[in-house]
Amino acid sequence: MRPPVTDHRDGPRDECGVFGIYAPGHDVANLAYFALYALQHRGQESAGIATAPRGREIMAIRDQGLVAQVFDEHKLRSLVGDMAIGHVRYSTTGASAWENTQPIVRDDRRTLALAHNGNLINAVELHAELREHDVAFSSTSDSEIIAALLASHPAERIEDAIADVLPRLRGAFSTVVLTEESVVAFRDPNGVRPLVLGMIEDERSGQAAYCVASESCAFDLIGAKYLREVLPGEVITLTDGGVQTRMVAEGERRAFCVFEYIYFARPDSKMAGTVLQVARARMGEILWREAPVDADLVIPVPDSGNAAARGLARAAELPQDDGFIKNRYVARTFIQPGQELRRLGVRLKFNPLPEVVAGKRLIVVDDSIVRGNTTRQNMQMLRDAGATEIHLRISAPPIKHPCHYGIDMSSREEMIAHGRTVEEIAEELGVDSLHYLSLQGVYEAVGVSRDAHCDACFSGDYPLAGTEEANGKFDLELPLLKA
């Protein structure tokens, strides 16, 4: 078993990424591998793939670590079949442990494998109900609750089981399921987390294969064409017959996570009809419109601030340069720096360039601040490198509320914006000025309306009733220990 990955980032932690494909005649394990590789940004704690020849046994390999650490050619060759699902994980319910890696395989009334992105806000209640009916669990993730409900359901068809179970699930869940006959994908009725449908055209046979993924960037890497998003409350079945769809639930309103546009999704993914690289550049343009300042140079905090910095620099007609150099090979490390390295100011991720920033009035652009620890260190490094002024611009509003729908954002008390004014945050971070993009600016940049989105991490306006009383990340650990 691999050790858990230590994450040194100060921003919101990633969530999860899912992929599913039904493609007889294709190397589905390889396609799943490369799709997960494209989705690696959504979770770096573990990775897994499950495959099956139609009508035969499901095989799965999953482990802690990055996609390229978990799989090699030998393992991929052992995963044969006509269909596959895959998962990359960042834990939002349950610890980062091998038992919580996915896809989860259950063998109750039916055998299935399941991969899930999101978070159930009624996980503790459902877990207790299943345990009362002597349903055993081997993990502490809410994903296994969904798998257990579906695997133990008496309905003959998996689609009928999903139609009955889905209304009982509360929260965010973009889910792919592999049975011995098909790949099935479904999305929560509010559409909080993303899920999209794609197609691979086989020029030799003239037949099409279909796939689903958390983001369209996964399709780009495997040569699939983006078709559309999976609708909230929709169940999609991929089989020999192509794509079958069924609406099984309707939410009170759509509540797609606005933070996907700002931070989580890859900049080359398409959401709401827009490539996010373009939307994020518009965020930078609006940042400048909202808070212009006299400055000499615009620099991003790489890579999260790159697109917004370009947009801001363009709108301000200011030069842009790389004030930080990012070490891309230590963003996830198994080794904590010792006390001596911390005392010497080890720079695990960023190194400032005095030759670029010294003597300059800087506009520094990033996409978000949660706790502020890393941001504070970065701003001090720029001061030490000779920056005369630092004007920090953030392409998101202040994060003041935790997410209960599949993003690990810390507790409210840990957030630097909790109970502080913008001026107080600026003083805490050691910058000359600070401006957060307004919520209206975010929606303007993306070109979407607020009434179809969730922005609770900024506004505290949770779209699902009972959210603030939802279970915590480790609330399912205790029942398992008592078992």
The catalytic residue positions are 16
Sign of the Cα torsion 410, 412, 415, 417 reads positive
Burial of 412 (0-12, 13-18, 19+ CB in 10 A): middle
Beta-carbon contacts of residue 360 (< 8 Å; ≥ 6 apart): 296, 297, 386, 387, 388
Comparing CA positions, the residue from 317, 309, 349, 354 lying closest to residue 331 is 349
Residue type, 483: A
Task: Please tell me whether residue 80 adopts helix, strand or coil conformation.
Answer: coil
Between CA 209 and CA 23 the distance in angstroms is: 5
* CA 470/CA 465 separation, integer angstroms: 10
Evaluate the CA torsion angle 274, 279, 281, 285 in order and state its sign.
positive
CA distance 107 to 125: 22
Q: Which residues pair with 43 in a beta bridge?
A: none
| Opening angle at CA 265, ends 261 and 268, nearest 5 | 95
Q: Which residues pair with 17 in a beta bridge?
A: 88
Q: Give the span between the Cα atoms of 361 and 400, in whole angstroms.
A: 29
Cα radius of gyration rounded to whole Å, the chain: 23
- Is the separation of the CB atoms in 413 and 371 below 8 Å? no
Q: How far apart are CA 242 and CA 430, in angstroms?
A: 57
